[in-house]
Structure 1
Amino acid sequence: MTRPPQQPAFSQDDSPSFRASFEQWRRSLTSFAARPPLRCEPQWSDGPIMHDDKNTPNDPARDPKREAADCRRCEKWRDELARESPIVRFLLTHISLLPPSPNSPMPTPEHSPTPHLPIPITCSPCPPTMAGGFSPELGILLCQNRFMSRKHMEDALAHELVHAWDERRFTPKGKWGDDLRAHACTEIRAETLSGDCRFGREFTRRNWHFAAQHQACVRRRAILSVAANPNCASRQEAERVVNEVFESCWPDTRPFDEIY
């Protein structure tokens, strides 16, 4: 005999809005346990960020068998992280509790490569200059050929999920990426909260400091990201913008209570 699913026992003091939010959160966690068939989607390959002189989607030197194996590994790790990683589960849950941005034309669940997750997360081969990306139109990109380990992917996915949360929570001036101050702030937050700047990662990059190592890493990597924005005129402008917002964005750990 199949037992009916148990419903949470709410108290009389719980408001209808709390009950609705709890039910949405519960459904989101339940959906993370589902695993769809593995499939790699081509949408990201059409953008200019994915092209360079050495690694373009039409490069005859590319190995289809290797790419298929990379795709299977990437999607396997992605779904395992969605089920098992505390930071990834936490961020996915909090993204699911926010409505999509009204200016975001992101695919609906039925057209998403990951309908079991609150945001599309696609695996695709990338140039050597990137490990992941976020787009309000396409969701999150995981560079299947750039990850050294599942932990490396976890940090990259958490980084992009912070961007996804920020895109739903805050309203920049203009389109995503047009507002350099908003770009700098979300990069500072993503570097701070994702694990990108923990001491072990910096040690492998041969960048370490005896004091304020975390802050130095966050500032350096945020400047590099903003400088790569086509709307940024120079590295000097990137440094200026990051320095202007650093003191206000560095302490902002939302949706976490503190740095993970």
Structure 2
Amino acid sequence: MEAPGEEAAALVPEPGSPRRRRLRGRAAVLTGAAAALGLVAGTCAGYLVQAHRAPTKLPPLSQPSFAQAEGEGPEPLTAARDRRVKTDGDLRKLLLEKPRGARAAAHLMGQNGWLDLADYAEFYDEPGEMFGEIVGDEFRRAATTGWLVGRTHEVEIRLVQFRQEETLAAAANVASTRYWVEDEGGTDSWALPGTGTGRVYVHKRPDTKPGYVPVYTAEAHAWRGDIAVEMWITDIKPIPKAKIMDLAERQMERL
């Protein structure tokens, strides 16, 4: 089991020429949601059978007992220390809790804190195409939360879990997303301590669209085991590094 804050950086695939499209936060998705609905409905139909198959049975959480001489060999992990026990439970419980005084984000996608495969695909620039890609990545489930502080400071966090029976999909997902984020101009980035390859990003240029107030964005992307962490902060004023860094560090500590 990997210790908290340790990841095998050598296992992270190089971005190279990623096949994925740009992954977006909820605010950007809502702007173009109406135009995307028709595309998703037409393209996703061929994948629905596979998406609705019964999930692959998980291995038992109990650990086998082995006879050992007194004082020799390691003791079995307790449930509190066994990360697999934690991540196979209710994924929503690993999300950061809404801060005191904050309000729940309006129009948060999904139901009861869960995102299904179709909902998650909506966060990509080409959701119809990405639906099939995510099926191939052995998408297992995704949990989400979000909140609003004041009138304009909004946070969105997603935990995306993969089965990882064939590939290290969580690491690949983060590597591909980072490629597109780092390709944007006017962006500063810093390593996320304790994650190996995780990074936080602050976009210094606001996102401007006709009819909308300019919006600044900061985001963080990291992975641990079979879970990819995706995080965004949006506001109508610049977002300091300390805000996104603190949020990302605290979220990773829960994994």
Superposition TM-score tier, normalisation by shorter sequence: 0.3 to 0.5
Q: Tell me the TM-score normalised to structure 2 length.
A: 0.37
Task: Say which structure is richer in helix.
Answer: 1
Question: Which structure is higher in RCO with an 8 Å CA cutoff and minimum separation 6?
Answer: 2
